[in-house]
Amino acid sequence: MKRREFMALTAAAAAATTAGTLPAMAQAKMVLKATDVHPLGYPTVEAVVRMGKKLEAATNGRLSIQMFPSMQLGGEKEMIEQAQLGALQIARISVGPMGPLVPEMNVFNLPFMFRDNAHMEKVIDGPIGAEIMKKLTDHPTANLIGLCWMNAGTRNVYNAKKPISTLADLKGLKIRMMGNPLFVDTMNALGGNGVAMGFDQLINAMQTGVVDGAENNEPSYDSGQHYRYAKYYSKTGHLMIPEILVFSKKTWNELQPADRDLIARMAKEAQQEQRKLWYEGEAEALKKMLAAGAVVNEVANKKEFQEAVKPVWDKYAGALKPLIDRIQAVN
Ligand code: GTR
């Protein structure tokens, strides 16, 4: 930098400091810590890594993202807690565990809520998605900023014992569910025994027989190598839950408005980028799990499953009814 430019910049910085703001260029470097339960290469992880590169380029290296994949900073519960404290900045989490905190989010956790991927995408991309995201951001104690949605396909049951084709096949099976009473109720309504635990505890629970299996989308089943413990993957399709990228409110409040805008915009771009990565990753995961010995079966009579979860809707859908009606009307 030429001396004259430097002087001008210093003067500008001094003036801005007096005014209470610092010009962007004079701001210190900041490394945003990001985390995900999934490994490098997983669609959500890759989308955030790419977002980090774009952020770094746009700010000449002043802002960057350091990714801690594979539960390096703990399970989803720990990730949320650390983001709330500002110990990390970006966490990619499922809507699943947020339901008990932000009631409107539970609408996406209802079994068989969405007709298909296209329906789900239309809802999260549109005004309803923006509204629910705002509920999270505005929540007085969640201490998180909702940045964007991400795809997570459809969740199917897998277990060590047998393929699930009918409700009767689920009888007596202990199936791990995410930490939200709605999911335990869902599995129980389907005839199995729902057991709530963190994703980080699942492998051990399958190894020791604490559970017979779990339920998840193909990429999670594949990248976690869950087929090694539960080879029957049955396409029950009972849940379709989008994921969210959240930012620590504590750190957010310390950022300059222009940086907040930049991060928010890049997160929106990451949402679309992750979607492409998602469909590629899903197809790839299916190939890999089959090659690894997973036995995949379709469920012919889905209606039986849809009818069985009626008590879950009766219990949880009441207050969410207007929102549900609007979601169902999206086509
Ligand atoms: C995955 C999701 C994770 C986590 C996990 C689980 O599909 O990407 O965020 O929620 O499921 O079952 O806990």
- CB contact set of 216 (below 8 Å; sequence gap of 6+): 155, 156, 158, 224, 226
Instruction: Find the angle CA(181)-CA(110)-CA(290) to the nearest 5 degrees.
Output: 95
Rounded to the nearest 10 degrees, what angle do helices 321-329 and 127-138 cross at? 150
What mean pLDDT comes out for the span 78-92? 98
List, for residues 122-164, the tens digit of each pLDDT value: 999 999 999 999 999 999 999 999 999 999 999 999 999 999 9
Domain 16-152+242-283 is classified in which CATH homologous superfamily?
A: Bacterial extracellular solute-binding protein, family 7 (3.40.190.170)
pTM metric for this prediction: 0.92
* Band (26; pLDDT cuts 50, 70, 90): low
* Band (1; pLDDT cuts 50, 70, 90): very low
Share of the chain above pLDDT 70, in %: 92
Arch. (CATH architecture) of 155-240+285-329: 3-Layer(aba) Sandwich (3.40)
- What DSSP designation does 34 have? E
217 lines ligand 1 (CB under 6 A): yes
Query: What is the amino acid identity at position 314?
Result: D
216 lines ligand 1 (CB under 6 A): yes
Q: Counting atoms of ligand 1 from 1, which one is nearest the CA of 176?
A: 12
Token reading at 284: 């790839």
* 3 state DSSP class of 161: coil
CA distance 12 to 149: 39
* Band (13; pLDDT cuts 50, 70, 90): very low
Q: Counting atoms of ligand 1 from 1, which one is nearest the CA of 219?
A: 7
List, for residues 278-311, the tens digit of each pLDDT value: 999 999 999 999 999 999 999 999 999 999 999 9
Q: Which of 322, 300, 330, 309 is nearest to 109 (CA)?
A: 309
Q: Counting atoms of ligand 1 from 1, which one is nearest the CA of 75?
A: 13
- CB contact set of 222 (below 8 Å; sequence gap of 6+): 285, 286, 288, 289, 292
- Averaged pLDDT score across all residues of the chain: 94
How far does the centroid of ligand 1 lie from the alpha carbon of residue 319, in Å?
26
Q: What is the pLDDT of residue 12?
A: 45
Q: Where in the chain is the domain with CATH 3.40.190.170?
A: 16-152+242-283, 155-240+285-329
Q: Which of 264, 267, 247, 296 is nearest to 79 (CA)?
A: 247
Best residue among 36, 37, 187 to mutate for probing ligand 1's pocket (most ligand atoms within 8 Å of CB) is 37
Residue of minimum CA distance from atom 1 in ligand 1: 220
Q: Are 125 and 119 in contact (CB under 8 A)?
A: no
282 lines ligand 1 (CB under 6 A): no
* Band (269; pLDDT cuts 50, 70, 90): very high
